[in-house]
Structure formats: structure tokens, C-alpha cells
Amino acid sequence: MKSLSIILITILLISCKKEEKKYSPEIEMKAQLIVDSITKSVKKESALENKEQSDAPVKVMNSRFIEKEYSNYKDVELTYKNISNKDIKAIKFEWYGEDPFGEPADMGITDGNGGGFDDDVLKAGKKRTSEWNVLSRNGDKILTARAYEVVYTDGTKWKAK
């Protein structure tokens, strides 16, 4: 009787063993979609939070994707003005763009965020329009663009906070 009860208890314990969860491609795909959605949202929020500062020496007046005659890829064009009272030696820019569906635009290397620099002297009060080859296949609009670092001809620097 004692050995029978031990056998029954053993069988009961073995049969109650929890099943291990098996790999599910559907669950992994859903999890990846959630992660992608959060990543895109964070990128957009971060870009929109980094709008131009009031003390920035360069004001971006216009930003857009432009199509080239010889290619299906798009470039980024910025029109900007030196609103400081000093001549500028170099400027670093950053921008954020979206495709027609409101998703981060392909910027060649990364999605959504892009950047470039200009190292031609920009006199005080003058404006300029420049283009950067970002090789975007699906860019529709630039939501925000700003100068985040400036070097003046006298050697001093300004950086965005």
C-alpha cells in the first residue's frame, strides 16, 4: 500500500509538470512591431524636442526634400541665415524627415534623422541655400531642422544645449 501510494504520488507529480513554452514566430513578430513602433515614436519626439533654440546664431528658414532630374533618390535642401553679428566659419546641421505615411524617412544610412555641415564662410546677416545628398528613397517632408554647432571666424564656438 505504501509503495502504491508513492508510485501514485510520483505519477501525479510527473503529470503535473509545467509545459515549457515553445518558440513562436507570431509572438516574436508582434513583439518586434511593438519595439519598432516605440523606437519610431521616440525618434520623432526627440527630433521635435530639438527645435531651434532662441539663442541660435543660425536660423533655418526653409527645409525640404528635393528630387534630382537624374535619380529617383531625394536630397535635403536647407535655407538658413546667419542672425549673429559675427562671420561664421562652419555650421553643423541636423534634421528629421518623414515619408508620406508619417514614418521616419529613409536618409541613406539611418531612418528619420540626418545631418550635414557647411564649412564655407557665412557673413553676418547673410543667408544661403545648401543641399546634402542623403539618398532618400521615400522622403516626403522635413519636420524639423536646426544648426546645433557653429564655429565663428574668430575661433569661438556655439553649441546647442
Q: What's the pLDDT score for residue 47? A: 58
55-159 to CATH, choices 1.20.1050, 3.10.450, 3.30.160, 2.60.40: 2.60.40
Q: Sketch the domain layout of the chain as residue ranges.
A: 55-159
What the block records as the C-alpha cell of 84 is 549673429
DSSP per-residue string spanning 112-150: SEEEEEE-S-B-TT-EEEEEEEEEESS--EEEEEEEEEE
- Please give the Cα distance from 2 to 154 (Å, whole number): 96
Q: What's the pLDDT score for residue 93? A: 95
Question: How many Cα atoms occupy the beta-carbon half-sphere of 32 within 13 Å?
Answer: 6
* Nearest in space to 152 (alpha carbons), one of 58, 63, 41, 70: 58
Three-state SS for 37? Answer: helix
Looking at the DSSP bridge assignments, the partners of residue 127 are 81
pLDDT in tens, the chain (161 residues): 555 566 656 666 666 655 566 777 777 777 777 766 666 666 666 655 656 677 899 999 999 999 988 888 999 999 999 999 999 999 999 999 999 999 999 987 788 899 999 999 999 999 999 999 998 999 999 999 999 999 999 999 999 98
Quote the strand ranges of 45-112, DSSP E: 58-67, 74-82, 88-98
